[in-house]
Chains A and B, each alone.
Chain A
Amino acid sequence: MAEAVAGPLDQHHFAIRRLHSLMGIVPIGAFLFNHLLTNSTAFLGEKNFDDHVLWIHHMPWLLAIEVCFIFVPIAFHAVYGVVIALQARSNVSRYGYGDNWRYMLQRVTAWITLVFIVVHLVHFRFAHWFGAESYAAAHPYFLAFTQQGFTMWLPMSAWMVIYVIGLAAAVFHLCNGLVTFCITWGVVIGDDSRKRLSLAAAALGLLLMAWGLISLYALGTMEARGPGGAEPAHVAQHEHLS
């Protein structure tokens, strides 16, 4: 049995590793960027958020896109990532170089992100399997619904802590992964170019982190009006169409 599994994995070892590396950037990294974009519309106001989510929900081929470009790649990257992470014998306590710390953190944030993604999916995407209301039922008051989610099962402060940790882990994992991706594929080779890339990745990381945090801030502080408030502008229009 073990042999049968090892066979093709060994035969295509290099290709699988490269695929794992690529998936981290596209589609998963690209998705994370897009996801932060969506979330940050909350900072721009309830209407912006509701309109944007509504637009996503009306996208053609939505389920197929979700499965092919989000679920399957993340599942593959996560499962094979666990295999890779289990092969590490981290030794920062002996050799505390910065690069070694980042190597260790790439793996630690992988575990945190894995747990966070599961929590996040249960919290919103599959909440209806666990007795809560489905996200689709929120239509078209998505921000109000999301905000309710942040007081469901746990107090909002607890959710905020979980989301800040999950955000930080995912952002670090992506930005550090961008650097190792470039080394892995041979995009950067020399020490100087690697240092420049690391600085750029760190800047990107801070930017993404700030972007994510203002979304959480908006979610935590704003008063979403929901069904009682004004209708999102596009609702009426969409209702006509459907």
Chain B
Amino acid sequence: MADAQIRFRIKRQDKPDAAPYWDDFVMPYAPGHNVVSALMYLREHPVNARGRGVEPVVWESNCMEEVCGACAMIVNGTPRQACAALIDQLTQPITLEPLSKFPVVRDLLVERERMFAALKQVKAWVPLDGSQDIHEGAPRISPVDQSLRYLFSRCMTCGCCMEVCPQFHEDSRFIGPAPLGQVALHNQHPTSTYFRSERLQALMEPGGIADCGNAQNCVKVCPKDIPLTQAIGELGRQTTVQWLKDLFVR
């Protein structure tokens, strides 16, 4: 395997408003590489396939174990975590593209602010109004509920689900699937149910759950296997009930 190579086709962009272009790279094969470790090699040897010295490719990564969400990009046409994309399992040349639904900062680095804004909009957190004990005894959760909630709690805001959602794009106000999963999680949590109605009402605004088109792409690409369509169904039911309550009770 001494002369074996790893070949990349990388979609690059020098600055936010610049035109994107493709750059090819070739590096020597070494066993055990993943896309991020290969990008690290290219950063040390920033020479493209035509032998020209170029600016090193910019990307984002932290944990290297598929939990932080930072390294999401489109690898061979599918959005996924680059750190978990093993070179030995990919067909070459390996194409890398930045997520297309978020503004590109540079090369493979995108600005995912819209997702965080959506999480704020739907109050996807556990409210705390002080350090006093607000429960008589700790709330009990059955192991069955706990294991479902655990699934949702693993969301790392990577944006893969947003990338494949046909309803989430520049010209739509849809908040996208990931925040929906977080509302489903927080609406189940005993210490987090105080905001339940407020979260649902936020979801009933333009861009909320009604803008989901049920394409069900999101659930198929989530690297953490989060049951997003189940969240959407559950929230469909909760918002239906909330809507009727607001209509007839308020």
Q: Contact residues of A with B, CB < 8 Å? A: 10, 13-15, 17-18, 84, 87-91, 94-95, 97, 99-100, 103-104, 106, 179-180, 183-191, 194
| Count of chain A to chain B residue pairs whose CB atoms are closer than 8 Å in the complex | 98
Return A24 CB to nearest CB of chain B, in Å. 13
Known: A91-B164, A103-B166. Contact between A183 and B236, CB under 8 A? Answer: yes
Q: Contact residues of B with A, CB < 8 Å? A: 77, 164, 166-167, 169, 171-172, 204-206, 208, 210-211, 213-217, 220-221, 227, 229-230, 232-241, 243
Known: A14-B210, A18-B210, A95-B220. Contact between A191 and B236, CB under 8 A? Answer: no
Contact B229 A194 (CB under 8 A): yes
Query: Complex: how many Å from CA A100 to CA B227?
Result: 17
Contact B234 A14 (CB under 8 A): no
Return A104 CB to nearest CB of chain B, in Å. 8
Known: A13-B210, A100-B216. Contact between A186 and B167, CB under 8 A? Answer: no
Query: Complex: how many Å from CA A104 to CA B172?
Result: 17
Return B105 CB to nearest CB of chain A, in Å. 22
Query: Complex: how many Å from CA A139 to CA B214?
Result: 46
Contact A184 B243 (CB under 8 A): no
Q: Using CB atoms, name the residue of chain A closest to B169.
A: A89
Contact A191 B167 (CB under 8 A): no
Q: Using CB atoms, name the residue of chain B closest to A11.
A: B206
Contact B166 A100 (CB under 8 A): yes
Contact A189 B213 (CB under 8 A): no
Pick 8 A–B contacts, CB within 8 A, sort by A. Answer: A13-B205, A13-B210, A15-B243, A87-B211, A104-B215, A183-B229, A186-B237, A191-B229
Interfacial chain B residues near A103, Cβ < 8 Å: 166, 213-217
Query: Complex: how many Å from CA A90 to CA B164?
Result: 9
Known: A91-B164, A97-B220, A183-B214. Contact between A189 and B233, CB under 8 A? Answer: yes
Contact B240 A185 (CB under 8 A): yes
Q: Using CB atoms, name the residue of chain B closest to A187.
A: B237
